[in-house]
Structure 1
Amino acid sequence: MTTSASPRPDLTTADQVRRFAVVAAEIFCVVGTLFGVGVLGTRVEESSGGALAATATLVAPAGPAFSIWTPIYVGLLAYAVWQALPVNAVRDRVRTTGWLAAASMVLNAAWLLVTQRGWIWVSVVVIVALALSLGVLLHRLTRSPSATTWERVVLDGTFGLYLGWVAVATCANITAALVDSGVDLGATANQVAAVAVLAVAAGLGVVFARRLGGRWAVAAAMAWGLAWIAVGRLADEPRSVATGVAAVVAAAIVVVAAWRRHAGRAAAPEASRRLHAI
């Protein structure tokens, strides 16, 4: 007896609204980006009185770190197109994450726009909301595997990079807001505080590895950001060997946590097979 494949779900009104909302959010994100890169406004590193510049704080990543936005933005554009296709709009993973994806794009643009106004503490609220929305999105994706390689790259890969980078950027943003507000603990204590912030970032990497299945995209983006913090502190101002070394250690912890999660998942089926063979 043969069984027929399950019919593809119908495209509902909710699907149509959501997919067009994502496209609209992507357009808004592009507009915000044009402000952030200086085409329509002031570049991020020059906005907010320079509070977000690569040399503003001990945990600010060096300039080249921000090139990670290129694959993220390309991925967001590809995702907006991909999810709008009727065959993809009805996927459960798209249905449960589409509005969060749209929210992340709007929040990203909002962050760029509020920094244009110099509202550094408002930018902290926005980036925390962005990080939370991405965390929930990735958690929902973890509930079920991707159906195709293209889905894995465009959906899981894009938002994995996005979350990883935003996690590091959130730590840097909060630090920038504190420094801009006049918080100065002294030369030594500032470095101790910077190391503590990097320890928090490393802890987040471990949590992500455990809760999100050891996603390499998340770990890679976090390690990238942390590595460029190390470069900034070891090769540029403000110099701090302690902070630079701590950033390297934090990056290593994030990568090892993801690797161990994958190693543990690979070992579980093997242990199960051995148990059944006894």
Structure 2
Amino acid sequence: MNATESARGSDVARQILVIAAFVFMIIGDAVGLGAFGGTPIQDAQGGSFSPDTSYLTPATEAFAIWTPIYLGLAIYVIWQALPSQRARDRQRSLGWLIALTMVLNGLWLVTVQFLSVWATVVCIILLLAALVATYLRAVRTREPADGWLDGILIDVVTGLHLGWVTLATVANIAAALTATVPSDWESAASVVGVLVLVVVAVVALGLSASGGWRIAPVLSIAWGLGWLAVARLLGELVDVPIGITAIVVAVIVLIVPIVARLMRERTLAD
């Protein structure tokens, strides 16, 4: 019995839901970029998300990471809708979760426009939790026979998405605190920022290790950290300790997984 013959009604519903979730995310993204009368994200919430306002917000160029993530999701949506993918166990296991991550992604973009800055924190934490669940399930269900396309559209795209949202969650919480705490707390920004980046390093390495030292999550985290360093060293809101720490952490979270992966492959080869 082939995949198409063994398909269930819920499989078609899943495929349709994934398509609808992607459309919702794109509409939310358009609103977040200022379309339909919305305010661009960097100007929303009184400018709380601007790299010139919050110490842990990367330079705006960092958000170019969304291009490969959205492109990968778009291709995934088309691919998963094919009859050949309808009844695959991996699609059944992951399709619903990937749809949830896209819905929460779009919901965050809408929340930025219409609700409070702390509502965006709640939303992005939910998105992060959904991405962690998706990533861990992708790791558990991955088989060599799944092929390279499956690996790119599910594992790599999910890893990039998770890595970026991990750093974005930190930036979102920092932006919310910046918008609400007394201004004299700014004197502790350097120390707190450095400590937070140390935690980011631990989390990034933990994510990579849990996936067999996968590179995708740490790649997007390192990308964001690099642009955070640019914002803190060359932007209007200068903070040298945070900028230098961001560079060091970016290098660590890239080098350690690469070395660990090479050592593991060498051990397996022996």
Structures share a fold, TM > 0.5? yes
| TM-score scaled by length of structure 1 | 0.91
Kept in 2: contact 1:48–1:117 (CA 8 A) = no
Which position in structure 2 is the counterpart of 1:15?
11
SS of the aligned residue for 1:148 comes to: helix
Read off the aligned partner of 1:145 and give its amino acid letter: E
1:249 aligns with 2:248: yes
Matched letter for residue 242 of structure 2: T
Task: Give how far 1:186 is off.
Answer: 4.3
1:77 alignment partner, one of 74, 81, 92? 74
Residues in 2 aligned to 1:257 and 1:175: alpha-carbon distance in whole angstroms = 27
1:74–1:129 Cα change, 3 Å: same
Q: Does 1:128 align with 2:128?
A: no
Give the structure 1 partner of residue 181 of structure 2.
182
Residue 211 of structure 1, CA deviation: 0.5
Identity of aligned residues (%): 36
Runs of 4 or more off by more than 4 Å in structure 1? 183-188
Name the counterpart of 1:150: 149
Report the Cα offset of residue 57 of structure 1: 1.1
Structure 2 residues without counterparts, runs of 5 or longer: none
Is 1:192 the counterpart of 2:191? The answer is yes
Kept after mapping to 1: 8 A contact 2:139/2:155: no
The question of whether the paired residues in 1 share the 8 Å contact of 2:3 and 2:85 is answered with no
Q: What's the TM-score, normalizing by structure 2?
A: 0.94
Cα drift, residue 264 of structure 1: 3.6
**Structure 2 residue matching 1:131: 3-state secondary structure:** helix
Equivalent residue number for residue 233 of structure 1: 232
Give the letter for the 1:155 counterpart.
I
In structure 1, the gaps of 5 or more residues are: 1-5, 272-278
Residue 31 of structure 2 corresponds to residue 32 of structure 1: no
Q: Which secondary structure state, in structure 2, belongs to the residue aligned with residue 42 of structure 1? A: coil
- Are the aligned partners of 1:26 and 1:77 in contact in 2 as well (CA < 8 Å)? yes
Tell me how far apart the structure 1 counterparts of residues 8 and 196 of structure 2 sit (CA, whole Å).
45
1:183/1:199 Cα in 2 relative to 1: closer, same or farther (>3 Å)?
farther
Contact 1:213 1:261 in 2 (8 A): no
Offset, 1:268: 3.0
C-alpha RMSD of matched pairs (Å): 1.6
Shift of 1:176: 0.6
Shift of 1:216: 1.6
2:54 matched to 1:57?
yes
CA deviation after TM superposition for structure 1 residue 39, in Å: 1.6
2:11–2:87 contact (8 Å) kept in structure 1: yes
Aligned partner of residue 90 in structure 1, secondary structure = coil
Q: What do the CA deviations read for 1:178-208 (whole angstroms, capped 9, x no partner)?
A: 1111244545421000111111111111111
How far residue 14 of structure 1 moved from its aligned partner, in angstroms, is: 1.4
In the TM superposition, what are the counterparts of 1:152-171 in structure 2 within 5 Å? 152-171=151-170
8 A Cα contact 2:51 2:237, kept in partner:
no
Name the structure 2 match of 1:98.
95
**Higher-Rg member (1/2):** 1
Q: Deviations over 1:143-193 (max 9, x none)?
A: 123612221222222111111100000000011111111244545421000
CA contact (8 A) 2:226 2:250 kept: yes
Residue type at the aligned position of 1:174: I
Residue in 1 that maps onto 2:266: 267
In structure 1, the residue corresponding to 2:238 is in which secondary structure?
Answer: coil
Say if 1:120 and 1:177, in contact at 8 Å, map to a contact too.
Answer: yes
